[in-house]
């Protein structure tokens, strides 16, 4: 198990840390990791993702991305869909034409 120099676990969930030779349960909850992929028959994957507090925040982020992409030419994006995944699970599927 790895720790940073402050003694905090580097895992995204609860993990057992060892501090000064003693075991201590550290709650190291972080925000969920969301991935935003675009598809139109082909899928364009988001390999990095974003830490966001909840599913509604992820939806707002996705709609913001869609609006940015549509600024140049809204019609060329009409058949695309944004998929939002949290830890690999699909939570939102947003057709660009609805934004």
Q: How do residues 23-65 score in pLDDT, each as one tens digit? A: 433 334 589 999 999 999 899 999 999 999 999 999 999 999 9
Q: Which domain holds residue 86?
A: 33-98
Do 39 and 26 reside in the same domain of the chain? no
The reported pLDDT for the residue numbered 49 is 95
Rg (C-alpha) for the chain, rounded Å, is: 18
More confident residue, 12 or 77: 77
Residues 20 and 55 in one domain: no
By CB atoms closer than 10 A (0-12, 13-18, 19+), residue 62 is: buried
In this prediction, residue 85 carries a pLDDT of: 97
Residues 11 and 53 in one domain: no
Which residues on neighbouring strands pair with residue 34, listed in sequence order? 50, 86
Alpha-helical segments (H) within 1-99: 55-70
Spell out a b/e string for 36-59, using b for 16 or more CB atoms within 10 Å of the CB, else e: bbbeeeeeeebeeebebeeeeebb
Q: In the prediction, which pLDDT does 16 show?
A: 35
pTM of the entire predicted model: 0.68
Which of 13, 11, 76, 52 has the alpha carbon at shortest distance from 92? 52
Look at the chain and report how many structural domains it folds into: 2
Q: What is the pLDDT of residue 75?
A: 84
């Amino acid at each position: 198990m790895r720790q940073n120099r402050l003694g905090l676990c580097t895992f995204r969930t609860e993990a057992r840390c060892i501090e000064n030779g003693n075991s201590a349960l550290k709650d190291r909850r972080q925000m969920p990791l969301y991935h935003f992929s675009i598809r139109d028959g082909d899928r364009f994957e988001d390999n990095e993702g974003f830490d966001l507090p909840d599913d509604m925040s992820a939806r707002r982020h996705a709609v913001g991305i869609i609006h940015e992409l549509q600024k140049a030419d809204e019609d060329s994006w009409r058949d695309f869909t944004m998929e939002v995944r949290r830890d690999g699970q699909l939570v939102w599927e947003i057709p660009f034409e609805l934004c």
